[in-house]
Amino acid sequence: MRRIRDMMRSRAGELLREGTVNRVLGWKNGEFYYDPNPAVFETEESLDGLVYNGFSAAMLSKYLIDATKKEGRILVFLKPCDTYSFNHLLREHKVNRENTYVIGVGCDGMLDIEKLRTLGVKGIKSLDENGDDLVAHTLYGDKTLARRDILLEKCLSCKGSEHKVYDELAVVDDPWQWDTLDRFAKVGELEGMTPDERFAFWRGELSRCIRCNACRNACPVCSCLKCVFDNPRSGVQAKSNADSFEENMFHIIRAFHVAGRCTDCGECSRVCPQNIPLHLLNRKFIKDINAFYGEYQAGADVEGKSPLTEYKTGDVEPSVVYERGGA
């Protein structure tokens, strides 16, 4: 990752210098080593603060909605999975491609600080990242870890190392690769439960929602200027999670609004302070869409219709839900 970071710094510097871009959207260190924040760099000097490590999970695509409205061109670093969301935003005319310069950056999979904590790793000062081998320098000494054990949930079912869109690449020839898991495994597990069990599961999860809207803010597809849940004219404006249904309604509708558009980036779950597995709702829609209407990956390309804006005369009937068995 360090090699890539150096490539990023030097290319960004060059592009700024030669005037190809006016600004750079990347990550800078946060309060701790493990919370790099998205940041805009305007000068070559400031690029010393550009970081890229196992905690640079925050997707930058969505920041481009505002960033590309400004004059001039902005350089953005996109990990392979981030490019799907970028494509989606292009499809919906949310970002201005001409004002963007995309450098696709290689990725070894992003890390889950919670998993590190669970493993007893605290007080991280920095990491030495070398493929699967990872050494955490902490206040309490060094710890050696296997990267695969601490990958973020969303990285366990990585979409692969291909960038779907870029102007140039900053990748290494020998990236670390890991075995990915079936992204629908958990959805399938839930489908196998009884409705009572499922209801209990979701009640348990969703009742923790504090309606902080982090999921909505991080989501590259939830890019409405004003959300229906904030709009008094919508009839469904919601104020707080005063009851058991509000969050159900919010999360069902949010998942429905992004159905057929969700790139499965996993940011919703990653940013959720309550650790609600919100991505499962989206994956349920994706799994159904794939099964009912054919495989579809939002953001794989910019053109064409999405599953909910097209139809086939021979589509399955809604009763398929009852016919496919289960309780």
Partner 1 sequence: MQKIGVFICWCGSNIAATVDVEAVAEAVKTEPNVVFSTNYQYMCSEGGQSAIRNAIAEHGLTGIVVCACSPRMHEATFRKAAAVAGLNPYMVEIANIREQCSWIHKEKSEGTEKAIILARAAVAKLNRNVPLFAGESPVIKRALVIGGGIAGIQTALDVADAGYEVDIVEKTPTIGGKMAMLDKTFPTLDCAACILTPKMVDASAHEKINLYTYSEVESVSGFVGNFTVNIRKRARAVNSDLCTGCGVCVEKCPSKSAKSEFNQGLCNRSAIYIPFAQAIPNVPVIDRDACIKFKTGKCGICEKVCTAKAIDYDQEDEIITKQYGAVVLATGFKPISMERYDEFQYAQCPDVITSLEFERICNAAGPTKGKVLRPSDHEPPKTVVFVQCVGSRATVDCGKTYCSKICCMYTAKHAMLLREKYPDTEAYVFYIDVRTPGKSFDEFYRRAVEEYGVHYIKGMVGKVAEEDGHLIVQGSDLIADKQVVIKADMVVLAAAIEPDPTARSLGTMFTASMDTNDFFTEAHPKLRPVESPTAGIFLSGLCQGPKDIPDTVAQAGAAASKVIGLLSKDKLMGNPCVAGCSEPLCNGCSSCELVCPYGAITYEDKMVIDHGVRETRRVACVNEAVCQGCGACTVTCPSGAMDLKGFTNLQIMAEVDAICR
Partner 2 sequence: MPINEKGGAFNPLIVAFCCNWRSYAGADLAGSSRLNYPVNVKVIRVPCSCRVNPLFILRAFQRGADGVIMCGCHPGDCHYTSGNYFARRRTALLFSMLDFLGIEKGRTRVEWVSAAEGAKFANTMNQFAETISALGECKRLEDIRCVESEI
- Neighbour-count burial for 305-317, b at 16+ CB within 10 Å, e otherwise: ebbeeeeeeeeee
DSSP string, 16-71: HHTTS-SEEEEEE--SSTT--EEEEE-STGGGGGB--STTTTS--GGGHHHHTTSS
Give the residue ranges of DSSP H helices in the chain. 2-17, 64-67, 80-91, 113-118, 153-156, 185-191, 195-206, 214-218, 244-258, 267-271, 279-293, 320-323
* Burial tier of 190 (Cβ tally within 10 Å: 0-12, 13-18, 19+): middle
Query: Rounded CA gap, 317 and 320, in Å?
Result: 6
Q: Nearer Cβ to partner 2, position 196 or 303?
A: 196
Q: Is 190 near partner 2 (CB under 8 A)? A: yes
Min. distance of Cβ 229 from partner 1 in angstroms? 10
Min. distance of Cβ 228 from partner 1 in angstroms? 4
User: Which of 249, 273, 275, 304 is the binder for partner 2 (CB under 8 A)?
Assistant: 249
Instruction: Residue 167: name its binding partner from partner 1, partner 2, none (Cβ under 5 to 8 Å by kind).
Output: none
Q: Is 185 near partner 2 (CB under 8 A)? A: no
Instruction: Residue 318: name its binding partner from partner 2, partner 1, none (Cβ under 5 to 8 Å by kind).
Output: partner 2
Q: Is 239 near partner 1 (CB under 8 A)? A: no
Q: Is 234 near partner 1 (CB under 8 A)? A: yes
Query: Rounded CA gap, 85 and 204, in Å?
Result: 30
How far is the first Cα of the chain from the last one, in angstroms, to the nearest whole number?
A: 48
Q: Nearer Cβ to partner 1, position 305 or 324?
A: 305
Instruction: Residue 248: name its binding partner from partner 1, partner 2, none (Cβ under 5 to 8 Å by kind).
Output: partner 2
DSSP string, 95-118: S-GGGEEEEEE-----B-HHHHHH
Q: Is 242 near partner 1 (CB under 8 A)? A: no
Q: Is 35 near partner 2 (CB under 8 A)? A: no
Query: Rounded CA gap, 202 and 181, in Å?
Result: 23
Count of residues near partner 1 by CB under 8 A: 24
User: Which of 19, 120, 141, 195 is the binder for partner 2 (CB under 8 A)?
Assistant: 195
Q: Is 307 near partner 2 (CB under 8 A)? A: yes
User: Which of 144, 240, 313, 319 is the binder for partner 1 (CB under 8 A)?
Assistant: 313
109, 116, 81, 101: which is closest to 26 by C-alpha?
101
Q: Is 285 near partner 2 (CB under 8 A)? A: yes
Q: Is 258 near partner 1 (CB under 8 A)? A: yes
- 18 touches 10 (CB < 8 A): no
Min. distance of Cβ 225 from partner 2 in angstroms? 19
- 327 touches 224 (CB < 8 A): no
If you search the block for the tokens 């696709």, which residue do you land on?
A: 104
Instruction: Residue 61: name its binding partner from partner 2, partner 1, none (Cβ under 5 to 8 Å by kind).
Output: none
Q: Is 257 near partner 1 (CB under 8 A)? A: yes
Q: Using CB under 8 A as the criterion, which residues of the chain lie in contact with partner 1 when the complex forms?
A: 91-94, 222-228, 231, 233-236, 257-258, 305-306, 308-310, 313
Q: Using CB under 8 A as the criterion, which residues of the chain lie in contact with partner 2 when the complex forms?
A: 187, 190-191, 195-203, 228, 235-236, 242-246, 248-249, 252-253, 255-256, 259, 281, 284-285, 288-289, 292-293, 307-309, 311-313, 315-322
